[in-house]
Structure 1
């Protein structure tokens, strides 16, 4: 419990320390430079919080990530720590498809906007369509995105059903899909609990899946294919 209390204190204290950087980011007019600056600060901030949580991370398959273009990372979702893990462990700038509730977090929401994150309301179809359109535009601009197609965290680490709608980010933009499997992050903070415990997390990055015209016609089949790739890498 001491670690948990200390972690949450550090979460807010370090966020407050970032306030001068926050105002500096707001003044940067070039969106590319703004996202680079935000990515650098986010990596440092999230990295320190992962260290305090006692997270040991192993990444397998970094060589599978195309470095010359934007991609859509599609990952399973086990913990609130998944976003910090992927921010720090995946190379390059990336935005996340995040739930609308994240907008309630002061400063955090603004840093996420600087990073080109897209906020979606799972209960509002019109807003979802708007979010997909914004995400496609981001990918076409050369900025990678991260999608958690389960929509919510798994309570036991097992894969839940994938929602196919989010994959339109790839089929409409033409960006390759890079499947990502996160193992054991749920033991850092179990769903329904705020207690933080040390854990070793293994992230497996599988080979990219290039988009084809056929995939655009059958999103459900594509969804099952990606789910199978991620599931095979679960440990």
Structure 2
């Protein structure tokens, strides 16, 4: 996996240069072209790690920009989402990732937003940047728990994280991931082959969440994900 990761990053450098030219046009229509290489990397990463990905509910993803919101089990969530969701999107990511060569460059091309939770002013600006990207037609993904739950009980779904949707008035698309932590974090941080399930839940319209309020919507999303997790546990 180490050689695959390093080799692919070096291999991607010419494509990164082309992606930068497309990104400079600031046109959301280019997102799909820009993310061809990252999505191929994600699919290859899952294949080499022995991950069997089961995806359902893709029909729930509407056209146009959306805010993807879901649970965060572990590090495998990123390639799982990139490989499993055909719509291009950027992540709200911790600021530390920005220090990784080449990876940070690709994330910028994908319209990711780097969040520094230790600096309130910078964090507010990052949220504003995310809102701007949504308004410009780019989809964004956020983990409202703010940290990995390792497949255990879900953490608090912070309603403030949904401000991205509220201020840009885009649909919220919830998702449920199950099994990714068992492939790494729950195996003493060693890669273990397994099955990961990704379920895309019905989208929540701007009209609904503006009437219901973000606190209620955050609780509803968490409850829907918990219910989906329970169903898959029973069906396993």
Taking structure 2 as the reference length, what is the TM-score of the superposition? 0.90
Q: Does the CA-based 8 Å contact 2:89-2:110 persist in structure 1?
A: yes
Q: Does the CA-based 8 Å contact 2:71-2:225 persist in structure 1?
A: yes
Cα deviation code 1:94-130 (max 9, x no counterpart): 1111111111111101101001001101222211211
Q: Does the CA-based 8 Å contact 1:56-1:199 persist in structure 2?
A: yes
Match of residue 6 from structure 2:
12
Q: Does the CA-based 8 Å contact 1:34-1:114 persist in structure 2?
A: no
Cα deviation code 1:134-178 (max 9, x no counterpart): 111111111111110011111343211122221000111111111
CA distance in 2 between partners of 1:70 and 1:22 (Å): 23
Match of residue 49 from structure 2:
53
CA distance in 1 between partners of 2:174 and 2:225 (Å): 6
Q: 1:193 to 1:23 in 2, by over 3 A?
A: farther
Deviation at 1:22, TM superposition (A): 1.7
Query: Structure 2: any 5+ residue segments left out of the alignment?
Result: none
Match of residue 59 from structure 2:
63
Query: Structure 1: any 5+ residue segments left out of the alignment?
Result: 1-6
Counterpart among 36, 42, 49 of residue 40 in structure 1: 36
Match of residue 215 from structure 2:
220
CA distance in 1 between partners of 2:65 and 2:153 (Å): 28
Q: Does the CA-based 8 Å contact 1:153-1:191 persist in structure 2?
A: no
Taking structure 1 as the reference length, what is the TM-score of the superposition? 0.90
Match of residue 189 from structure 1:
184
**For 1:83-122, what aligned pairs fall within 5 Å after superposition?**
83-122=78-117
User: What SS does the aligned partner of 1:146 have?
Assistant: strand
Match of residue 4 from structure 1:
none
User: What SS does the aligned partner of 2:90 have?
Assistant: strand
Match of residue 153 from structure 1:
148
C-alpha RMSD over aligned residues: 1.9
User: What SS does the aligned partner of 1:123 have?
Assistant: coil
